[in-house]
Amino acid sequence: MIQDCIVKICNLPIDFKDKNKSPYDLAKESKFEIYQDSISVSEIRRYLIENKPLLNQWQILSWNKRTTGYYLSYEDNNAVGFINEKHQTTFKQEFDTSIDACSEFIYREISSILGLEK
């Protein structure tokens, strides 16, 4: 079910800390691959509005990555960006709110983890 998938992907940082599973395994278990085309950033946003503590969990996950890929920065005008293998920012988008930025980051990060970027 789509709503179950949204709950699982939004809670990935907590599950990553609490369970002995990789982000890939957790993303795979969400069945995001099946529902990706049916899930919108707006639906993720609605879930985050009701679960605001997740915003900090996603920020921490982004900080702890310390690698290439997508990042989330509330301090940088609520930015979502991408850092390539040469440590260059090749994509950056700023958002009006941290909820908007986090929603976009979650969608892009889960897609990236599963190799489903469009």
Give mean pLDDT in consecutive 10-residue pieces for the chain, a chain of 118 residues: 96 93 96 95 98 96 88 96 93 97 98 89
Please enumerate in sequence order all residues whose Cβ is within 8 A of that of 95, keeping only pairs 6 or more positions apart, or say none. 77, 78, 79, 80, 101, 104
- Report pLDDT for 66: 76
pTM metric for this prediction: 0.94
- Percent of the chain as helix, strand, coil, to the nearest 5: 60, 15, 30
**Is the separation of the CB atoms in 46 and 86 below 8 Å?**
no
**Cβ(96)–Cβ(78) below 8 Å:** yes
pLDDT recorded at residue 118: 63
The confidence score (pLDDT) of residue 65 equals 84
Residue 20's pLDDT is 85
